[in-house]
Amino acid sequence: LEDLPVVAAEFASARHQLGTLGSGNHFMEVQQGSDGHVWLMVHSGSRNLGYQVANVYNKLAMRMAERGGTRSLPAKWQLDYLPLDSEDGQRYLREMHYCVAFARANRREMMAVMQEIVAGLSGNANFGGAIDVAHNYAAMERHFDREVCVHRKGAIRAGLGEAGIIPGSQGSSSYIVRGLGKSDAFSSCSHGAGRVMGRKEAQRQLDLDEELRKLKRLNVVHGMRSRKDLDEAPGAYKDISQVMANQKDLVEIEVELQPLAVVKG
């Protein structure tokens, strides 16, 4: 870890977060697939480790932009950059890739627990292979005959024939998809439905009883109990079916998944 200073500083606390869900839109879900199988899905990431790495290097990029006068966009947008060929830029890439691997290990730990629970309850469960995708990272790829750094924030890679996951909200469908490798989209597609309103706005505007009725009609087991939980209510998100229709040139749907039980972070 000597060449990963932020990871090294956070390593002790990060070890205790491995296998934990986190808050916000992170979830564990049991789903009924259109293929006749029951699916288990985990949405979580690199926890505080990833946040700290992003925060440190974002501040570094902001200081460099201020000193060098290279900022061309408002500072509040947080779109300053580190040159790829710089020592700081290369160090950030190494730390970011570590966080991507940490997130994968984190999901794997939680999935193992979910499988253990299901196997214990069913007494006879056979599990297929896992699909694991990241939706917040940067990668060096070749597009339009050039080597470029593709940033995917709230997006996943959807290369030709590549498997992907597009989750909805806790009251809507999720999808297992196959990428179509659309070059104009840098072989990418959306990560999920996307929000139609912010967290605080959802807590103020959504009707708790109506959101609870939506989940009850779907027979979804959930943990939404009070107005503070409305930030992750179905009404806070876009219509996932419309989102999928809008990106039919980016992916094809292989399996549609209906929620059965949801654990939110």
43 carries an active-site annotation = no
Structure tokens at 37: 């199988």
- Among 229, 224, 256, residue whose Cα is nearest residue 240: 256
Picking from 185, 180, 224, the residue whose alpha carbon sits closest to that of residue 202 is 224
Picking from 136, 132, 110, 139, the residue whose alpha carbon sits closest to that of residue 50 is: 136
With beta carbons less than 8 A apart as the criterion, state whether 133 and 156 touch.
yes
Q: Which residue in the list 26, 43, 135, 191 is annotated as catalytic?
A: 191
Q: In what order do the strands lie in the sheet with 163-166?
A: 38-43, 27-33, 251-264, 174-179, 163-166
Q: Give the integer Cα–Cα distance in Å for 240 and 229.
A: 20
Q: By the 8 A CB rule, do 102 and 134 touch?
A: no
DSSP type of residue 5? H
List Cβ neighbours of 133 (8 Å cut-off, separation of 6 or more).
156, 157, 163, 164, 165
Give per-residue burial for 194-230: e unless 16+ CB within 10 Å, then b. Answer: ebebeeeebbeebebeebbebbeeeebebebeeeebb
- Rounded Cα distance between 42 and 18, Å, is 14
CA 259/CA 217 separation, integer angstroms: 12
**What amino acid positions are annotated as catalytic residues?**
191
